[in-house]
Structure 1
Amino acid sequence: MFSMACKTQIVPFFFSITIHFFLLLIIDSASSQQILTIESRSNPAASEDCNNRWIHIRNLPSRFNLDLLTNCSEYPVFDDFCPYLANHGLGQKTHARSRSWYRTDPLLLELIFHRRILEYPCLTNDPGVANAIFLPYYAAIDSLRYLYGPDVNSSSQHGMDLFEFLQSDEPGIWERHMGHDHFLVMARPAWDFSQPLSNDPPIWGTSFLELPEFYNLTALVPEGRPWPLQEHAVPYPTSFHPQNLSYFQAWIQRVKRSRRTSLILFAGGGGIGSAPNIRRSIRNECDNSTINSNISSSFNIIQSNVLHSKLCHIVDCSNGICEHDPIRYMKPMLQATFCLQPPGDTPTRRSTFDAITAGCIPVFFEESSAKTQYGWHLPADKFAEFSVFIPKEEVVFKGLKILDVLMGIPRSEVRRMRQSVIELIPRVMYRRHGSSLGLRSKTDAFDIAIDGALQTIRDKLGNMLEH
Structure 2
Amino acid sequence: MASLVKKTKKPALQPLSFHSHPTMPPPPQTTLSTVLHLVLFLLLSSTTTAISTSQDTSDLEQDCTNKWIHIRDLPPQFNLDLLKNCSEYPLFDNFCSYLSNHGLGQKTYNDSHSWYRTDPFMLELIFHRRMLEYPCLTSDPNLANAIYLPYYAGLDSLKYLFGPAVNSSFLHGLDLFHYLAHQDSESIWHKNFGHDHFLVMARPAWDFCQPLSNDPPIFGTSLLELPEFYNVTMLTFEARAFPWQEIAIPYPTSFHPSNLALFEAWINRLRRTRRSTLMLFAAGGGISANPNVRRSIRLECDNSTNVSLNGSITMKYAKLCEFVDCSNGICEHDPIRFMKPMLQASFCLQPPGDTPTRRSTFDGILAGCIPVFFEELSAKKQYKWHLPEEKYEEFSVFIPKEEVVFKGLKILDVLMSIPRAEVRRMREKVLEMIPRVMYRKHGSSLGLRSKKDAFDIAIDGTLQRIKSRLEDSA
Q: TM-score, normalised by structure 2?
A: 0.92
Distance 1:364 1:326 in 2: 21
Query: Which residue of structure 2 aligns with residue 90 of structure 1?
Result: 104
Letter in 1 for 2:153: A
Q: Paired residue for 1:117, among 131, 138, 151?
A: 131
Aligned to 1:319: 328
Map Cα deviations across residues 208-263 of structure 1 (whole Å, 9 max, x no partner). Answer: 01001101000000000000111000000000000111111111111111110000
Name 1:12's counterpart in structure 2.
none
Residue 372 (structure 2) pairs with residue 363 (structure 1):
yes
Aligned letter for 1:451? D
Q: 2:415 aligns with which of 377, 401, 406?
A: 406
Aligned-residue offset at 1:131: 0.5
Partners of 1:56 and 1:124 within 8 A in 2: yes
2:114 pairs with 1:100:
yes
Q: Deviations over 1:322-375 (max 9, x none)?
A: 000000000100000000000000000000000000000000000000000000
2:464 to 452, 455, 463: 455
Which amino acid in the other structure matches residue 205 of structure 1?
Answer: G
**Whole-angstrom distance in 2 between the partners of 1:138 and 1:31:** 15
Please tell me whether residue 259 in structure 1 is matched to residue 274 in structure 2.
yes
Q: How far apart, in 2, do the equivalents of 1:152 and 1:260 lie? A: 47
Structure 1 stretches lacking a partner, 5+ long: 1-14, 294-299
C-alpha displacement of 1:179? 0.5
1:221/1:127 Cα in 2 relative to 1: closer, same or farther (>3 Å)?
A: same
Task: Indicate the larger mover: 195-204 or 21-30.
Answer: 21-30
- Among 184, 188, 197, which residue is 2:212 paired with? 197
Match of 1:213 among 228, 243, 247: 228
Give the 3-state SS of the residue equivalent to 1:284 in structure 2: helix
One-letter amino acid of the structure 2 residue matched with residue 390 of structure 1:
I
Aligned residue identity for 2:106: Q
Give the corresponding residue for 2:144. Answer: 130
* 2:98–2:106 Cα contact (<8 Å) kept: yes
Instruction: Check the 8 A contact 1:124/1:130 in 2, yes or no.
Output: yes
Contact 2:29–2:96 under 8 Å retained in 1: no
8 Å Cα contact 2:280/2:347 also seen in 1:
yes
1:202 positional shift: 0.5
Judge conservation of contact 2:200–2:236 (CA < 8 Å) in 1.
yes
Query: CA 1:286–1:305 in 2, change beyond 3 Å: closer, same or farther?
Result: closer
- Opposite residue 74 of structure 2, the aligned amino acid is L
CA contact (8 A) 1:302 1:308 kept: no
Q: Is 2:37 aligned against 1:25?
A: yes
How big is the alpha-carbon RMSD for the aligned residues of Structure 1 and Structure 2? 1.6
CA apart distance, 1:78: 1.2
Separation (CA, whole Å) in 1 of partners of 2:428 and 2:311? 22
CA distance 1:56–1:393, change in 2 (3 Å): same
Out of 151, 154, 158, the position equivalent to 2:172 is 158
> Partner residue of 1:7?
none
Distance in 2, matches of 1:113 and 1:19, equals: 22
Question: How has the CA–CA distance of structure 1 residues 58 and 411 changed in structure 2, closer, same or farther, with 3 Å as cutoff?
Answer: same
Q: What CA deviation, in whole Å up to 9, does each residue of 1:249-297 have, x standing for no partner?
A: 111111111110000000001011110000000011011112447xxxx
CA contact (8 A) 1:23 1:66 kept: no
Letter aligned with residue 197 of structure 2 = H
Q: Is the 8 A contact 1:386 1:417 kept in 2?
A: yes
- 1:418 match: 427
Matched position secondary structure for 1:425: helix
Q: What is the distance in 2 between the residues matched to 1:32 and 1:437? A: 23
Q: What's the CA shift for 1:31?
A: 2.2
Unaligned runs of 5+ in 2: 1-26
Distance in 1 between residues matched to 2:312 and 2:227, nearest whole Å: 56
Instruction: Provide, for residues 131-189 of structure 1, a one-character-per-residue CA deviation record: whole Å limited to 9, x for no partner.
Output: 00000000001101101111010000000011111123325000000000000000000
Structure 1 residue 16, shift from structure 2 partner:
12
Aligned residues between the structures: 445
What is the 5 A alignment of 1:242-257?
242-257=257-272
Cα–Cα, structure 1 residues 241 and 18, in superposed 2: closer, same or farther, change >3 Å? closer
Q: 1:235 aligned to 2:244?
A: no
Deviations 1:51-79 (A, max 9, x none): 11000000001111111011111111111
Distance in 2 between the 1:216 and 1:302 partners?
Answer: 59
Helix, strand or coil at the partner of 2:210: coil
Q: Distance in 2 between matches of 1:350 and 1:232?
A: 16
SS at match of 1:88: helix
Q: 1:21 deviation in Å? A: 1.6
Task: Return the offset for 1:40.
Answer: 1.9
Fraction of identical pairs, as percent = 68
Partners of 2:361 and 2:310 in 1: how far apart?
Answer: 26
Question: Larger deviation: 266-275 or 305-314?
Answer: 305-314
Distance (whole Å) between structure 1 residues aligned to residue 284 and residue 28 of structure 2: 33
Deviation for aligned residue 1:49: 1.1
1:59 lines up with 2:73 in the alignment: yes
User: 1:385 aligned to 2:394?
Assistant: yes
> Alpha-carbon deviation of 1:302?
4.3
Relative to the length of structure 1, the TM-score reads 0.93
Paired residue secondary structure (2:218): coil
Partner amino acid, structure 1, of 2:465:
T
Whole-Å Cα distance in 2 between the matches of residues 174 and 292 of structure 1? 62
